[in-house]
Amino acid sequence: MQIRLSFLAVAVFGVLLFGCNSHPTVTTQPANQVNNTVGVVDSLAFYEDILKNDSLNTELRIALATNYYVAKKFDKAIHHLLIVHQIDPKNTEALITLGNVYYDADQYDNAITYYEKALTLDNKNVDVRCDLATCYLNEKKTDQAYKLLKKNLDINPNHAQSHHNLSVVYTQMGKTKEAEAEMKIFNSLQK
């Protein structure tokens, strides 16, 4: 999955990389912010001020929300993402990030809502569907998780995380052979 950020947002906040799920991790920081948490806070406040005069700047708002999210300031991240969602209800990036924030805040019902909205706009996104399945697993809704993961593997038979999560589902269902087979596939895809 690729996240679309403006050049300004990337230059300001650093580069984001995405692993096999849809959760971001910061890999670099702007040169003026390395080893300077006060600088990061000042910088975030600076961009908050810009948004006061340019409140419809969804790209900057998403970049700011993503940085709040990475800093585990979930309330601030949610605040900005909900504004983006109000401005542009079809902004898939905001929907996915809202799902991720709620997921990491252990608010699985809210995460499910936003992941499902994102999938209505991007039905082939196996990473989001995998995260949605994980939410269902955390809510003890094994059947829903199973269906989502099977659909993922129909779309992309080599999606390693879906094989791993399907192994967990099979384990919860008491299907040991199937769980072992999925874990074997997962391990082979990791090589």
Instruction: Supply the Cα-derived Rg of the chain in whole angstroms.
Output: 18
Q: Cα dihedral angle (152, 133, 91, 20), rounded to 10 degrees? A: -60
How large a percentage of the chain has pLDDT more than 70?
Answer: 77
Whether the pLDDT of residue 28 is over 80: the answer is: no
Model confidence over 85-118: pLDDT tens digits?
999 999 999 999 999 999 999 999 999 999 999 9
pLDDT, mean of residues 133-143: 95
Q: What is the largest CA-CA distance in the chain?
A: 59
Q: Which CATH architecture fits 1-122?
A: Alpha Horseshoe (1.25)
Residues of the chain with CATH 1.25.40.10: 1-122, 124-191
- Terminal CA-to-CA distance of the chain, rounded, Å? 21
CA distances from 105 to 14, 98, 109 (A): 23, 11, 11
Could you tell me the pTM of the whole model? 0.77
Confidence of residue 172 (pLDDT cuts 50, 70, 90): very high
Confidence of residue 54 (pLDDT cuts 50, 70, 90): low
Looking at residue 82, its pLDDT comes to 96
Class of domain 124-191: mainly alpha
The residue among 63 and 53 whose pLDDT is bigger is 63
